[in-house]
Structure 1
Amino acid sequence: MRLFTKLLLILSVTFSLNASDKSSILILHSYSQEYEWTKKQHDSFVKTLKDSNQEFEFFTEYLDTKRLKFTKTYQESFLEYLKMKYSELSPDLIYVTDDNALTFIFSNYKKIFKTNTKIPVFFSGINNFDMQKELPKDTFVGIYELKEIKPNIELIKQFSPQTREIYLIGDDSNTYNSIKKEFESHLSEFTNLNFHYLSDEYITNVKDKLPTKPRSFVILTTIGNFKDAKDNTLLPKESIDVIRQNRNLIILSMEDAYMHRGVVGGYMTSGASQGGGAANLVLEYLQKRSLENISSIEKGSNEYFFNAKELIDSRIILSEYIARDSTLVDHNGDSIDSKKSMFLNIFTVVFIVLFFGVVALFAIERKKYKRQAKKMSRLENLKSKLYAKDQFINNLLSFDDMAYWRLDTIKDELYVSKELLSFLGIDNNIYKDDPNVLTYFIHSNDKKLFGENMSEVKKSKKSITFSHRFVTSNKAVLNVTHKIYTEYINHTASLILGIVKIEK
């Protein structure tokens, strides 16, 4: 009998030890399990913990506040539901995602669990930075979600230096208004740009206000609360499908959960980084058994994401420093190349695949140019044209290692000679006319100089000679001397001509 009692005691102690090694975590999400932003955070949080050498038990609940209004009545009903369901459970840890869940737990922390033990709360995806002042640091710690719009504006300036109109799309939620307020504090840094705020609860009202000019840039801020005409809350993918019906748009995003078909990419918050970061804070806490010296993280979870096909379709080339720090994904959100230094090589492959289409487009553009030249039959135009070209040829013959380009400012069409394409390392057979191609290859420190001289030659009607640097597709630096002219037709600088000499 004594032996049996001892065995029971040993089994009991062993069971207790094993049970104590497993940490129970109550997870409360603001949104539904189908919402991709929530899913990314949840999966990354759980996976990071499961990959550790510790045991966990998870209990997951969803407030679903994208589809249900976060009213006081709803919160009281949900509180009663939690108290009833978890009356016999006191979790070791709590993890919440996004603002509504954090607000709910913070307001009802002492009402849910009947315990004198302090339960630490970990969070991610929090936009309300004012919560830092209210949350007790010995109980709450996590990852804040900072949507940084400034890097996306810089991206657009790089993609299309001539762009002046940028559109910000949002669902008119509190999160959208917070983003707008934060961005407006930086407006003085973008004096040459015009910003249009398109926000509404209903997606059709936003759709009707979208720009109709080709290659218009729009930025998705937060779109999870959009509704259709029947008052149904749409998934982000459904909202994006509505927006991209407008074929004039180049769509950037500030959140990786919006990386669906039609979205080029951008500098965005990462659900995986948010959830994984919160899990790492949990592991740090379990190692120390205290939140002392563990601080919330405000920055560092944003990343560059781009969709390979959308980049090509939008005729966008990334600079080297952006490409190096970016993740390239396909339409399913799967990474194409984990070696970010190989990013640009992918574009070379894609361009080769599109060889025949590019050659056909090139031929069409050349044909358009010839057709336009035939229409310029007026004597004044002819004299002006012949004079400009005589001047162009005379200067051209004065150089060795030369190349040239010609910009039609009326049609915004750029012709680049085979020699210049060769100098820049561009395959003439697959080159597609792009009025901005020169700016892609001008050294970053010389872009301002080049732009100023282009403006001056239009204004003064005189040729300008200056020196600067090109950076080839192979990253070689070329020192060049550049001469720029204008051909004025009917008092308009309709053609700008450039002669380039490569300095040895």
Structure 2
Amino acid sequence: MERILCWLLLPLLLWGGEVGAGQFKVLIVHSYSPELPWVQQCNRGISSALPEGFALRFEYLDTKRIPESEYPRKAEEAMQVYRAYAPDLVMLGDDNALRLLGPRMAADGLPIVFFGINGNPRSYFKSIPPNVSGRLEILPLFSWVRYIRRIMPKAKQCLILMDRSETSDALISHFFGENIHASVDGVTVDYRIVSTFAEWKQAVNESVGYQFITIPLFHTLKDKNGTVVPVEDVARWVSTQSRIPVFAYQDYMVGNNGVVGAYVIAGEAHAFSAAELARKILLGEASDKGGLSADHVGTFYFNRKQLERFGLTLPPGMEKDALFTE
């Protein structure tokens, strides 16, 4: 009986991530791969917000790992899925999916809901069509620096270290503009963008004069063979080699073998909010159709071992609100 059931389920498993069947078909296209923790969190949020009555199909552009020269091919493959699946609504996750697919899909008049956007969505369209809406992510670069200053009140200089990617470019444009420095609550903030894991290590080792480092993005770092370095390896190396505290913006980077802490816009809650908007649009209940909104409130994650390593003590209010991970 179990063998028969497996054969019956096989066509569903092969159908590109589509689950269930219902009145409305929703196509979700992620910029990245299904292995990325952020993507997994977002998928949980979407699936929770769109349970019965919605058929979901998930597609992945994998733009963190493939060269930029392959983006057009992946975008065309996604367009072929879009035409064949004929969804009632499309959700586009993160900047590359919105940039590569948003204008083409929106031209058909279909409702488009985006999420995980760090850049200005207006830069991806001549003007945002009325059938396009969504939730901005925008990593809280400077908010986290302000919170860290409460942990390290004597800190005067901070380095923001990022991989070379379009998301990094969007963050730099949003927070720094044309400047190479910024001042945040008395902390001079510099940024540095690198392409390889070797350059990343060099930047951390050369961080003399800085009191702490934040690492918003590190997902496209390449090793000497051109292979993307797993985020676990990045976290492990930083944990053992950095001479100053390192903080991230993702909960999965915090731990005994990771960074000191993170201020996180949770992927699951963020995508749940975007999927709720999608649900309301499909049911004719959306009051903010065509609108944009951003998530600003995050959650603190810390690791006690890493705090002790650097002799850091959390302010009482922050410790009360924080989640601690091993």
What range describes the TM-score normalised by the shorter chain of this pair?
0.7 to 0.9
Task: Point out the more displaced range, 29-38 or 283-292.
Answer: 283-292
The amino acid across from 1:173 in the alignment is S
Q: Which residue of 2 aligns with 1:58?
A: 56
Alpha-carbon distance in 2 for matches of 1:20, 1:106: 25
Q: Which residue of 1 aligns with 2:91?
A: 95
Q: Which residue of 1 aligns with 2:116?
A: 125
Judged with a 3 Å threshold, the aligned counterparts in structure 2 of structure 1 residues 138 and 158 are, in CA distance, closer, same or farther, namely same
Alpha-carbon distance in 2 for matches of 1:191, 1:256: 25
Counterpart among 198, 201, 205 of residue 204 in structure 1: 198
Q: Which residue of 2 aligns with 1:40?
A: 41
Counterpart among 138, 146, 158 of residue 154 in structure 1: 146
Q: Which residue of 2 aligns with 1:184?
A: 176
Q: CA deviation at 1:284?
A: 2.1
Judged with a 3 Å threshold, the aligned counterparts in structure 2 of structure 1 residues 312 and 102 are, in CA distance, closer, same or farther, namely same
Alpha-carbon distance in 1 for matches of 2:307, 2:190: 23
Task: Point out the more displaced range, 307-316 or 95-104.
Answer: 307-316
* More RCO (CA 8 Å, sep 6+): 2
Alpha-carbon distance in 2 for matches of 1:293, 1:45: 18
Aligned length: 302
Q: Which residue of 2 aligns with 1:279?
A: 275
Q: CA deviation at 1:78?
A: 4.3
Q: Which residue of 2 aligns with 1:474?
A: none
Does residue 75 of structure 1 match 2:72?
A: yes
Judged with a 3 Å threshold, the aligned counterparts in structure 2 of structure 1 residues 90 and 234 are, in CA distance, closer, same or farther, namely same
Q: CA deviation at 1:82?
A: 4.3
Q: CA deviation at 1:25?
A: 1.1
- TM-score normalized with structure 1 length: 0.54
Does the 8 Å CA contact 1:166/1:195 hold for their aligned counterparts? yes
Q: Which residue of 1 aligns with 2:166?
A: 174
Query: Match of 2:214, SS?
Result: strand
Judged with a 3 Å threshold, the aligned counterparts in structure 2 of structure 1 residues 315 and 215 are, in CA distance, closer, same or farther, namely farther
Q: CA deviation at 1:328?
A: 0.4
Q: Which residue of 2 aligns with 1:296?
A: 292
Q: Which residue of 2 aligns with 1:366?
A: none
Does the 8 Å CA contact 2:139/2:265 hold for their aligned counterparts? yes
Q: CA deviation at 1:137?
A: 4.5
Alpha-carbon distance in 2 for matches of 1:213, 1:189: 18
Alpha-carbon distance in 1 for matches of 2:145, 2:304: 20
Q: CA deviation at 1:216?
A: 4.0
The amino acid across from 1:104 in the alignment is L
Alpha-carbon distance in 1 for matches of 2:251, 2:224: 26
Does the 8 Å CA contact 1:35/1:235 hold for their aligned counterparts? no
Q: CA deviation at 1:34?
A: 0.4
Does residue 330 of structure 1 match 2:325?
A: yes
Does the 8 Å CA contact 1:274/1:301 hold for their aligned counterparts? no
Judged with a 3 Å threshold, the aligned counterparts in structure 2 of structure 1 residues 188 and 77 are, in CA distance, closer, same or farther, namely closer
- Indicate the structure (1 or 2) with the bigger Cα radius of gyration: 1
Does the 8 Å CA contact 1:214/1:249 hold for their aligned counterparts? no
Runs of at least 5 residues in structure 1 that lack an aligned partner in the other structure: 1-18, 332-504
Does residue 222 of structure 1 match 2:217?
A: yes
Q: Which residue of 2 aligns with 1:251?
A: 246
* Equivalent residues in 2 for 1:370-409, closer than 5 Å: none
For 1:139-192, what per-residue CA distance to the aligned partner results, in whole angstroms no more than 9, with x for missing partners? Answer: 111111112222222223222222223221111223223323444369564485
Does residue 26 of structure 1 match 2:27?
A: yes
Q: Which residue of 2 aligns with 1:479?
A: none
* Equivalent residues in 2 for 1:106-121, closer than 5 Å: 106-109=102-105, 118-121=109-112
Alpha-carbon distance in 1 for matches of 2:89, 2:173: 34
Judged with a 3 Å threshold, the aligned counterparts in structure 2 of structure 1 residues 190 and 133 are, in CA distance, closer, same or farther, namely same
For 1:468-499, what per-residue CA distance to the aligned partner results, in whole angstroms no more than 9, with x for missing partners? Answer: xxxxxxxxxxxxxxxxxxxxxxxxxxxxxxxx
Judged with a 3 Å threshold, the aligned counterparts in structure 2 of structure 1 residues 288 and 189 are, in CA distance, closer, same or farther, namely same
Task: Point out the more displaced range, 280-289 or 167-176.
Answer: 280-289
For 1:2-32, what per-residue CA distance to the aligned partner results, in whole angstroms no more than 9, with x for missing partners? Answer: xxxxxxxxxxxxxxxxx99522111111100
Query: Match of 2:283, SS?
Result: helix
- TM-score normalized with structure 2 length: 0.80
Judged with a 3 Å threshold, the aligned counterparts in structure 2 of structure 1 residues 323 and 132 are, in CA distance, closer, same or farther, namely farther
Judged with a 3 Å threshold, the aligned counterparts in structure 2 of structure 1 residues 269 and 257 are, in CA distance, closer, same or farther, namely farther
Alpha-carbon distance in 1 for matches of 2:314, 2:113: 37
Alpha-carbon distance in 1 for matches of 2:42, 2:252: 10
Alpha-carbon distance in 1 for matches of 2:269, 2:215: 20
Q: CA deviation at 1:41?
A: 1.1
Does the 8 Å CA contact 1:49/1:283 hold for their aligned counterparts? yes
Root-mean-square deviation over aligned CA pairs: 3.1
The amino acid across from 2:115 in the alignment is S
Does the 8 Å CA contact 2:63/2:71 hold for their aligned counterparts? no
